[in-house]
Amino acid sequence: MSNCAIVGINWGDEGKGRMVDLITRDHDVVVRYQGGGNAGHTIINGYGKFALHLLPSGIFTDGVVNILGNGVALDPENLEKEIEEVRSRGVKISPENLMLSDRASLLMPWHRELDGLEEARLADKKYGSTRQGIAPFYADKYSKKTVLAGELLYPEHLKAHLEDLLEWKNLTLRNVYGAKGYTMDDLNEWIEKYCEKIKPYVRDTGEFLKKASAEGKSILFEAQLGALRDLDYGIVPYTTSSNTIAAFAPVGSGLPGVKIDKIVGVVKAYSSCVGEGPFTCEWFGEEAEKLREAGEEYGAKTGRPRRVGPIDIVATRYGVETQGATTVALTKLDVLSYMDEIPICSQYELFGKKTDRFPFPAVLPEAKPVMTSMPGWKCDISGCRSWNELPKEAKDYVEYVEREIGCHIGYVSVGPERESIIFR
Ligand code: GDP
């Protein structure tokens, strides 16, 4: 038995989904432990190309049980639609291979609306939310003012609870934002249309995991976004509203005492970032457009063009430490093949001094990248399947990154397909 977490080291979109899809075959259970339907994991396998938002990336692998843990923002509407869509493309989804924690809180219809209203109020100071309701959801969760999925199994209790919540939430919606508010009829329709459909998947997943663990089954923990978006350790306030780090995996999955044997930190061979906030290495203009095109950097959920730039060693080292990564998967190395020279941000300059340390969020906008570069390889590497097949320049780049971030690079990904991987 060996448990593994797959986590993002940077701003998200590092290619975690493709790594989970690859590594799932060595595990019995895959658990998503935080976040909601606000980002996407792109996966390409025998069933086709998918952008998963809530479903764990292990859903494609026969015999694997997929769990949405108690730390997840369980959005019945998005989940129901995603189950239907993925199922319509031939993937088997039933309560046998998908389980929802009865302790996961439900993302209510008003969370999505509040997210949009607050971003609109913030106007040019907006946080760059995907408006999927995640921040209002977690705020309410920590105020103990939302519903647990398990309450769907107790309709009388649920009705009374919803009436209380409705009265309270309408105060904010109407008096703060001047919105219409909700009625019990609205909520009954929401229950009927979405919650009833996901109800058969709800169960005590903590108990299931405890038993699976005792039987020696191996568990894969799947994160959303990256270390720099972690609520406590990321670039506040441009973070997400949950803890993306591996240390939270046991808490958010329903197995708080579990030991994680291996933490795979996923790093892109260059940088990309969606949304607002400081992004020290950002490229603009033609240079950025070329990299964006080469890496197809458009958001899986929103289609928004991602901000791009060279690899950021300072941020990546911080991400590796914060995640406690035991090994790194370097993805999208093939995307850099067009470059004559591979640019690298090796340090920051902050207040006139060079530094290796990732700065406190409030002063991060002052940091300037200190750049270096290495020779490019200028050939197609997407067919390489072993370390020795890679050109010397590509190997040199991987080894440089490895040395600088202080963590072994155990996987080098050279394409989006499941098998486009080099094990090291
Ligand atoms: P995630 O949220 O961390 O799973 O990342 P995303 O799915 O948002 O973004 C990663 C994108 O890169 C997806 O479109 C993947 O198909 C793609 N991808 C992953 N690894 C590689 C790789 O090694 N090479 C190329 N060219 N694309 C990759």
What residue ranges in 168-211 does DSSP mark as E strands?
A: 202-203
Q: Are residues 311 and 391 in the same domain?
A: yes
Say if CB 424 and CB 410 are below 8 A apart: yes
Convert the pLDDT of each residue in 118-166 to its tens digit.
888 888 887 777 788 999 999 999 999 999 999 999 999 999 999 999 9
- Predicted confidence at residue 276, as pLDDT, reads 86
**16 Cβ below 6 A of ligand 1:** yes
Pair of tokens at residue 220: 């894969």
pLDDT tier at 301, thresholds 50, 70, 90: low
Of 173, 199, 225, the domain-final residue: 199
Across 219-234, average pLDDT: 95
Q: Are residues 293 and 234 in the same domain?
A: no
Q: How far apart are CA 14 and CA 54, in angstroms?
A: 17
- Predicted confidence at residue 151, as pLDDT, reads 98
Q: Ligand 1 centre from 15 Cα, in Å? A: 4
Q: Is pLDDT at 243 greater than 80 in this prediction?
A: yes
Q: Are residues 78 and 193 in the same domain?
A: no
Of 169, 199, 229, the domain-final residue: 199
Q: Is 157 a catalytic residue?
A: no
Q: Are residues 67 and 150 in the same domain?
A: no
**21 Cβ below 6 A of ligand 1:** no
Pair of tokens at residue 175: 């008096």
Q: Are residues 334 and 368 in the same domain?
A: yes
Question: What CATH number does residue 112 fall under?
Answer: 1.10.300.10
Average pLDDT over the chain reads: 94
Question: What CATH number does residue 365 fall under?
Answer: 3.90.170.10
Q: How far apart are CA 337 and CA 257, in angstroms?
A: 44
45, 331, 335: residue to mutate for ligand 1 pocket, most atoms within 8 A of CB = 331
Q: Is 408 a catalytic residue?
A: no
- Predicted confidence at residue 211, as pLDDT, reads 96
Q: Are residues 80 and 58 in the same domain?
A: yes
**265 Cβ below 6 A of ligand 1:** no
Question: What CATH number does residue 55 fall under?
Answer: 3.40.440.10
Q: Are residues 314 and 239 in the same domain?
A: no
Convert the pLDDT of each residue in 327-347 to its tens digit.
999 999 999 999 999 999 999
Placement of tokens 């015999």 in the chain: 63
7, 42, 328: residue to mutate for ligand 1 pocket, most atoms within 8 A of CB = 42
- Predicted confidence at residue 300, as pLDDT, reads 64
Q: Is pLDDT at 1 greater than 80 in this prediction?
A: no
Task: Please report which helix (H) or strand (E) contains residue 136, including its range.
Answer: helix 134-142
- Compute how many other C-beta atoms are within 10 angstroms of the C-beta atom of residue 361: 17
Active-site residue (options: 21, 27, 28, 41)? 41
How many domains does one find in the chain?
A: 3
Q: Ligand 1 centre from 232 Cα, in Å? A: 26
Of 223, 241, 264, the domain-final residue: 264
Q: Are residues 115 and 125 in the same domain?
A: yes
Residue partners of 274: CB distance under 8 A and separation at least 6: 11, 12, 13, 39, 128, 299, 302, 304, 306, 307
Q: Are residues 341 and 407 in the same domain?
A: yes
- Predicted confidence at residue 94, as pLDDT, reads 97
Ligand 1: atom nearest CA of 44 is: 16
Q: Are residues 313 and 165 in the same domain?
A: no
Q: Are residues 354 and 406 in the same domain?
A: yes
**332 Cβ below 6 A of ligand 1:** yes
- Predicted confidence at residue 348, as pLDDT, reads 98
Pair of tokens at residue 232: 């406590």
Nearest CA to ligand 1 atom 14: 42
**416 Cβ below 6 A of ligand 1:** yes
Q: Are residues 75 and 95 in the same domain?
A: yes
Q: Which domain holds residue 118?
A: 105-199
pLDDT tier at 25, thresholds 50, 70, 90: confident
pLDDT tier at 263, thresholds 50, 70, 90: very high
